[in-house]
Amino acid sequence: MTAADSYFVDFRDVWLAYNEELLAKNHFAVEAIDLQIRQGEFIAIVGPSGCGKSTFMKLATGLKMPSMGKILIDSKPVTGPLKISGMAFQAPSLLPWRTTVDNVLLPLEIVEPHRSQFKQKRKEYEARARALLQKVGLGGYEDKFPWQLSGGMQQRASICRALIHEPKMLLLDEPFGALDAFTREELWCILRDLQAEQKFNVILVTHDLRESVFLADTVYVMSKSPGRFVVRRDIELPRPRDLEITYTKEFTDIVHELRGHIGAMRKSGAPIQQ
């Protein structure tokens, strides 16, 4: 791929200082980000706490504007918060006074063009929300309240909420961090299947290297101070990937390799490696 406009996400030498004072001191939260994501690509970002992963997410969804450099998404310069993305975070953050299905419907009540059609199309939207909940194994829980669901179930509902408006891009900031290992692996498979079916782009921030290798097409390692992308690793494991793959040597070799990069990076910043 050569033409820049064939990338879905295109960061061109992006730097961000959180305020004028930090900018004057040349104190950047992230710097020199050059990163391109193909249409439908699943990337994962790993790196130490405070290195700038969430900052990158804020840039990718237009919640923050770069101090320097340029960001194109879907071939358009980012000028403000994007409607084409959905987000889910470590804490599920469902509204306790709304049922599961009403939580999932929330973005449709807020984001245009759905917002102005919401009353008219409520039945259709609700059917979509129920179908999605069914798909992630929450059939039968649609009318329960969040506090009646387990942590893993709440996180599934959050993912449905992030996907209900059929975004082109899904941003996940440590969505499975608080879950037990079995539930986490179950959700990996749900995410894998939804993405294979709907082909949205995913940017996943995680501390779990196995998770990044199982799910992503490409894993990026970030360093702290300065917050830069220092390693890019293509994951060429064939798809569809089954959990069994996580026990193979091929898989664990990649996890070890990434672990090595993180260990080395903690001692010194390294140039980007392909």
Question: By C-beta, is 152 or 227 nearer to ligand ATP?
Answer: 227
Cis omega (within 30 of 0) for bond into 240: yes
Least distance CB 54 / Mg ion (angstroms):
3
For 159-182, give the secondary structure using H, E and C.
Answer: HHHHHCCCCCEEEEECCCCCCCHH
Q: What residues numbered 28-87 form the site for ligand ATP, per CB under 6 A? A: 29, 49-55
Q: For residue 103, give the nearest of 49, 161, 55, 56 by alpha carbon.
A: 161
Least distance CB 51 / Mg ion (angstroms):
9
Least distance CB 17 / ligand ATP (angstroms):
9
The answer to whether 101 and 143 are in contact (CB under 8 A) is yes
Q: What residues numbered 32-71 form the site for Mg ion, per CB under 5 A? A: 54
Question: By C-beta, is 36 or 54 nearer to Mg ion?
Answer: 54
How far is it, in rounded angstroms, from Cα 72 to Cα 9?
6
Instruction: Write the binding mask 225 to 244 for ligand ATP: x where contact by CB under 6 A, - elsewhere.
Output: --x-----------------
Question: By C-beta, is 136 or 216 nearer to Mg ion?
Answer: 216
User: Binding to Mg ion by residue 134, rule CB under 5 A?
Assistant: no
Least distance CB 139 / ligand ATP (angstroms):
33
- Between β-strands 76-77 and 68-73, what pairing exists: parallel, antiparallel or unpaired? antiparallel
User: In whole angstroms, how far apart are CA 63 and each of 78, 137, 263?
Assistant: 10, 32, 31
Question: By C-beta, is 29 or 60 nearer to ligand ATP?
Answer: 29
Least distance CB 133 / ligand ATP (angstroms):
28
How far is it, in rounded angstroms, from Cα 64 to Cα 199?
26
Residues that bind ligand ATP (CB under 6 A): 18, 29, 49-55, 227
Q: Which residues bind Mg ion (CB under 5 A)?
A: 54
